[in-house]
Amino acid sequence: MYNLTHVSEFHLMGFSDDPDLQLVLFGLFLPMYLITVLGNLLLILAVSSDPHLHTPMYFFLSNLSLADICLTSTTVPKMIVDILTHNRVISYVGCLTQMSLFMGFACMDDMLLTVMAYDRFVAICHPLHYAVTVSAHRCALLLLASVFLSLVDPQLHNSTILLSTCFKHTEIANFFCDPSQLLNLSCSDPLLNSVVTYIVGVMFGFFPLLGIFFSYYKIVSSVLKIPSSEGRYKAFSTCSSHLSAVCLFYGTGIGVYFGSDVSYSSITGMEASLMYTVVTPMLNPFIYSLRNRDISRTLKRILSWRA
């Protein structure tokens, strides 16, 4: 271990150095990226083209799809280029830029999932007040608040890393500039890094997740009061897609972020990072379209019209 006072570039570890495996990884990640972009674009097109889908729930869903496209685009194209060129070097400025964009869009995903839980809570627990409580004006304010918080989150990491005058080494044990890895590489006070990690985790992880738990606690309490089993099933089915997306996103993201401060396995960390940066954005269009008749019907009409 040695300290580097002037760092101009970092080296991303990647998944493998085996030349034969590089072609396999390229053939795996390129289709996954294309499916993610096309699937989310189709979802946005479906919501924007069908007047029946111009509701708060689908408004937030289309913005979630846009955030997913941007989140994946900050990491996967660079990884694909690195596989083709066999060069995993990224400049210091490029690394901080990638980290900032990644944190911003990940936080945007985080906030939108929380807002969507609030939308389901109002729709199920207070259906008569839904149109007033979740009005177009309120939706716009919630979206602006999500964007503002997604701009604040990266600045906390950037300010901490920019304060560091040296780094332990330049190898990042991931396929992109992972914020938790950069904090571990910096020579700044470990206590400061831990404080920043847990402050950001509580602000942008714990509190949103607490809001989601509270919303679903109220939802479950209200649904259980419905006398008919058919009514309970219908109410729960409107939340199943959102719950699946929440479990995928939070389960892997929080585990990697907080686990890096205790013990970090490079392979396990990269696999978990792959889940919430690539797999979850790719699965979201399928989760929301397959379990939603309105979106499925609109997508079938769009695809048949295009054909």
The domains of the chain are located at 9-306
What is the C-alpha to C-alpha distance for residues 223 and 219, in angstroms, rounded to an integer?
6
What is the C-alpha to C-alpha distance for residues 246 and 219, in angstroms, rounded to an integer?
16
Q: What confidence tens digit (pLDDT) does each residue in 51-80 have?
A: 888 889 889 999 999 999 999 999 999 999
Given a contact cutoff of 8 angstroms between Cβ atoms, the answer to whether 188 and 164 are in contact is yes
- Name 91's bridge partners: 9
One digit per residue, the tens of pLDDT, for the chain of length 307 reads 444 456 778 888 877 777 778 888 889 999 999 999 999 998 898 888 888 888 898 899 999 999 999 999 999 999 999 888 888 889 888 998 999 999 999 899 989 999 999 998 998 888 888 988 899 999 999 999 999 999 988 888 787 787 766 777 788 888 888 887 888 787 776 777 777 778 887 888 788 889 999 998 888 888 888 777 777 777 777 777 778 788 877 776 665 555 554 445 566 667 777 887 888 888 888 887 766 777 777 777 777 765 5
Q: DSSP labels for the chain?
A: ---BSS--EEEE--S---HHHHHHHHHHHHHHHHHHHHHHHHHHHHHHH-GGG-SHHHHHHHHHHHHHHHHHHTTHHHHHHHHHHT--EEEHHHHHHHHHHHHHHHHHHHHHHHHHHHHHHHHHH-GGGHHHHT-HHHHHHHHHHHHHHHHHHHHHHHHHHHT---BS-SEESSSS--HHHHHHHB-S-HHHHHHHHHHHHIIIIIHHHHHHHHHHHHHHHHHTT-SSHHHHHHHHHHHHHHHHHHHHHHHHHHHHHHHTTT---HHHHHHHHHIIIIIHHHHHHHHHHHT-HHHHHHHHHHHHHH-
Which two tokens mark 218? 């109220």
Q: What is the dihedral of CA 19, 25, 30, 36, to 10 degrees?
A: -160
Q: Would residue 86 be called left, alpha or beta, if left means φ above 0 and alpha means ψ between -120 and 50 degrees?
A: left
Which two tokens mark 5? 């006072």
Q: What is the CATH number of domain 9-306?
A: 1.20.1070.10
Strand order through the sheet with 89-91: 89-91, 9-12, 171-172
Residue keyed to tokens 């280029």: 81
pLDDT at residue number 255: 59
pLDDT at residue number 305: 64
What is the C-alpha to C-alpha distance for residues 286 and 290, in angstroms, rounded to an integer?
6
Closest to 37 in 3D by CA, of 288, 290, 285: 285
